[in-house]
Amino acid sequence: MMCILEAKNVYKVYLDQKKTKGRLVLNNVSLKVDEGEFICLIGPSGCGKTTMLNLMAGFETPTRGEILYRGNQIKKPSWERGVVFQEYSLLPWMNVIENVKYGLDGKKLSDKEKDQIAIDCLTMVGLSEFAEQRPNLLSGGMKQRVAIARTLAMDPDIMLMDEPFSSLDEQTRKRLDNEVYDIWLKKQKTVIFVTHSVDEALLLGTRIVMFSQSPGEIIKEWKITIDHSKRDLATSEFTLLKQEILSSLQTCSCADNYTNNSQKIINIEG
């Protein structure tokens, strides 16, 4: 497997608003992402997951350490690393299809080609009939799907998704999870997916990476090699694993306990 993204001993310090306090947000994070992986990042709120994605996308630079994309240091954002943001990120004065087309703004394509790509991507998230609507008339879930379609239109190499469905109800979320999984399967993309839901991570991830409470560091990893279609959260394997992840989440406030046995990898064979 080719390594697509590699974080090497990354530290990130943020200044508070008055610039009188510095806060360590990421503490020596190293992570290697191989092509085709579906990585789920979990960890308590405020532990630096979004920060990690921002660094990987190139919106910000690490205070120390480096992040390599296909061997090159990341200097600025690029369409190759497409982000689906945690917050609302559509342009209110563009209708749905224009918003999706905006993902192609930096590419030299004819308007016709852009239209075609945009429609294809909208169809992929099941919103083709809403192409002409303004985002303010869509529900939260539909908005997030438009944002996903926009990122798909960019045809990125790797998709960085920041809790895309955290504000949705259980039912909708499951449906959209399936959509993301389908896209991953069809397009053979690499996905890094931040979530608070252990179930979501168990159903989607080929690897689950857990961050400690702030300052964020990676305290545990689980590889899940079971085929997605065979995953059933009711089986004992998964309930046990879920128990383990949940209890790790609970105790991860005392991150020190874990620094010694970090990078613990558990394999579950299908």
Q: Does 45 bind ligand ATP (CB under 6 A)?
A: yes
- Is 216:62 a contact under the CB 8 Å cutoff? no
* Binding span for other proteins by CB under 8 A among 65-73, 81-89, 204-212, 213-221: 81-89
Q: How far is the CB of 199 from ligand ATP (least distance, A)?
A: 16
**Contact code string over 83-102 relative to other proteins, x by CB under 8 A:** x-x-xxx-xxxxx------x
Instruction: State residue 188 phi and psi, 5-degree precision.
Output: 55, 45
Would you say 44 or 135 has its CB closer to other proteins? Answer: 135
20 binds, among ligand ATP, other proteins, Mg ion, none (CB under 5 to 8 A by kind): none
Of residues 95 and 144, the one with the C-beta less far from Mg ion: 144
Indicate which of ligand ATP, other proteins, Mg ion, none lies near residue 95 (CB less than 5 to 8 Å, by partner kind): other proteins
Residue pair 192/204 in contact by the 8 Å Cβ criterion: no
Q: Does 29 bind ligand ATP (CB under 6 A)?
A: no
Cα–Cα separations (whole angstroms), residue 215 to 23, 47, 182: 8, 6, 34
Q: How far is the CB of 49 from Mg ion (least distance, A)?
A: 5
Per the CB < 8 A criterion, the answer to whether 29 and 64 are in contact is: no
212 near Mg ion, judged by CB under 5 A: no
Q: For residues 243 and 191, what is the distance between their CA atoms, to the nearest angstrom?
A: 25
103 binds other proteins (CB under 8 A): yes
**Which lies closer to other proteins via its Cβ, residue 11 or residue 102?**
102
What are the CA-CA distances from residue 102 to residues 111, 141, 150, 170, 198 (Å)?
A: 11, 19, 7, 30, 33
Residue the block writes with tokens 């306990």 = 257
Extract the tokens encoding 109. Answer: 């394509």
- Site for ligand ATP (CB under 6 A): which residue of 48, 58, 62, 103? 48
Q: Which is nearer to other proteins, 150 or 207 (CB)?
A: 150
Q: Which residues contact 83 (CB under 8 A, 6 or more apart)?
A: 53, 57, 151, 159, 160, 161, 162
Angle between helices 170-187 and 140-153 (to 10 degrees): 10
Among 49, 101, 143, 145, binds ligand ATP (CB under 6 A): 49
Min. distance of Cβ 102 from other proteins in angstroms?
6
Site residues (vs ligand ATP, CB under 6 A): 14, 25, 45-51, 86, 214
